[in-house]
Amino acid sequence: MIWNCLGLEGALDDAGIGYEPSPFSKRLAVDKKTDYKVVEFDKTYKGDKKVLMICTEERYMQMENGKKFSSGNHPVEACHPMMHLVNAGFDFDVATPTGKPVCIEMWALPQKDQVMLDFFNKTAKPKFDAPLSLADVVTDEKKLSQYICFFPPGGHGAMLGLPEDEKMGKVLAYAKEKDLFVMSICHGPAAFLAAKQEPFLFDGYKMACFPDSVDKQTPMIGYMPGKMPWYFGEKLIERGVTIVNTGADATVAEDRKLITGASPKACQGLGVLVAQKLLEAFA
């Protein structure tokens, strides 16, 4: 009862299956307005190559205690960086492993950020609702060659399905072979674990991503209904990655063609940097 009175008890989602973050944790972790600021680039892209955003089609993470966390991709982490790329002239497609709709953490939408809401509803949501099938993309060299950057965004949903997905692994191998850009943020680098090659494709790379140490604390404020079943940072470190940040902050890391951000706070810096790098390389 005390737990509930303090606003630490999460509620079930609309489907009555998984828990969403508690009111208290939302006040701490879900901003009503982002720090998005328009950046005027010296030039814009005029070509026909695109960015491929690779999202999850799975919603529920089962915690150690058996409860299910209602997750998906974080809408700000997907949209905020992409807004800068669109402003720089780049179009984007969205794909999920089988073409099912993207699962989005709708409770994380910043309700007082009209610019972000407009981009989400008018530009991103139609693509989230009817994404490409990653299976179709990776089996067609012509389709795959349309893309110059690959982007698995964050949200705990990035840990669901993608780290084991053979098709995700093929995309990463293709990007490395063709020396293309890969960007990600927060929990998105969990998808990199799909690269099963030895040595690991990102062995020796530096990355910014959401810290396991913070994930281990979030059940205490009701953000998740229990301890997570695994921690992706530990897995990346085991495979030779150096994680450069210790907090859920605005850190952005650039290592060769890999550009990563630590948390939603890194969206502005990540999006601007990737847009600039793509313009330098392709405009």
Classify residue 19 by its DSSP letter: B
Report strand pairing: 91-96 vs 181-185: unpaired
State how far the Cα of 192 lies from the Cα of 188, in Å rounded to an integer: 8
Alpha carbons 74 and 95: distance in angstroms, whole number: 15
* Residue in 55, 79, 149, 186 annotated catalytic: 186
Across-strand partners of 242? 206
Cβ-contact 85, 275 below 8 angstroms: yes
How far, in Å, CA of 238 to CA of 143, rounded? 33
Q: For residue 71, is it left (φ>0), alpha (ψ between -120 and 50) or beta? A: beta
C-alpha 222/C-alpha 225 separation (Å) is: 6
Map residue 243 onto helix, strand or coil: strand
Round to whole Å and give the CA distance between 226 and 231: 13
Is 186 marked active-site? Answer: yes
Locate 140 and state its tokens. 């067609």
Distance CA 101, CA 168 (A): 17
Q: Is 148 helix (H, G, I), strand (E, B) or coil?
A: strand
From CA 38, how far away is CA 41, in angstroms rounded?
A: 10
| DSSP state letter for 186 | T
Rounded distance, CA 134 to CA 144, Å?
10
Whether the CB-CB separation of 89 and 274 falls below 8 Å is answered with no
- Active site amino acids: 186
